[in-house]
Amino acid sequence: MSKLELDLDALARQFEPDVWRRGLADARAGAVVSCVEAEGMRGWYTAKVGDPRPRTVEFQLARAAVHGQCTCEQRYDCRHLAAALHTLADEDLAREVAARKAMLDWLETAEAESPPAVPRILPRLPVP
Nearer of residues 97 and 103 to Zn ion, judged by Cβ: 97
CB of 70 to Zn ion, least distance (A): 3
CB within 8 Å of 114: residues ≥ 6 apart: none
CB of 121 to Zn ion, least distance (A): 52
Of 106, 110, 113, 47, the closest CA to residue 81 belongs to 47
Asked if 17 and 77 count as a contact pair (C-beta separation under 8 A), the reply is no
Nearer of residues 56 and 95 to Zn ion, judged by Cβ: 56
Q: Which residues bind Zn ion (CB under 5 A)?
A: 55, 70, 72, 78, 80
Nearer of residues 22 and 93 to Zn ion, judged by Cβ: 22
CB of 35 to Zn ion, least distance (A): 13
Nearer of residues 22 and 94 to Zn ion, judged by Cβ: 22
CB of 78 to Zn ion, least distance (A): 3
Buried b / exposed e across 20-49, counting CB within 10 Å, b at 16+?
bebbbebbbeebbbbbebeeeeeeebbbbb
